[in-house]
Amino acid sequence: MKLIIKPNRGFGKIEVEIDEELWGEIERLSERYGVSPERVIEIALKGEFKKSKGGLEGLEEKARELEERTWELEKEYAPLRFKAYGLSEDNKVLAIELSGLIAENSGLKRFLRMKPERNVELRKLISYYLQG
């Protein structure tokens, strides 16, 4: 592969032949760090590397420990989330049944020519359980 480097100003340009193995490494670095291959080459040519301040191994070990702790917590709370989901679905079913019973009760009161009651708080509670 041929790489052509042009200056921002002026007429000079540099042509360099890059083998496929090196280009593959440049593309791998590009994908790994989320930058364009041109930017990887620019950083390499200018030497704009960020120097490690040491302790990288310690940080990687701490990240592994935190990941393990996260999975332990996930194992601990997954059954609770499942139970909460089940209760939420049960509440929805009960809210639907209660809404039907309220409608039936209103119909019976109209049939008996009684004054129907409007329970606003109960309706709000039913809509809350139907949404969540």
Q: Which amino acid is at 61?
A: E
In whole angstroms, how far apart are CA 128 and each of 42, 62, 88, 106, 124?
57, 43, 11, 21, 6
pLDDT, one tens digit per residue, over 5-26 is 777 777 777 777 888 888 888 8
pTM more than 0.75: no
pLDDT, one tens digit per residue, over 68-124 is 999 999 999 999 999 999 999 999 999 999 999 999 999 999 999 998 888 889 999
**How far is Cα of residue 77 from the mean position of the Cα atoms in its chain?**
19
The 10 Å Cβ neighbour count of residue 126 is 20
43 touches 49 (CB < 8 A): yes
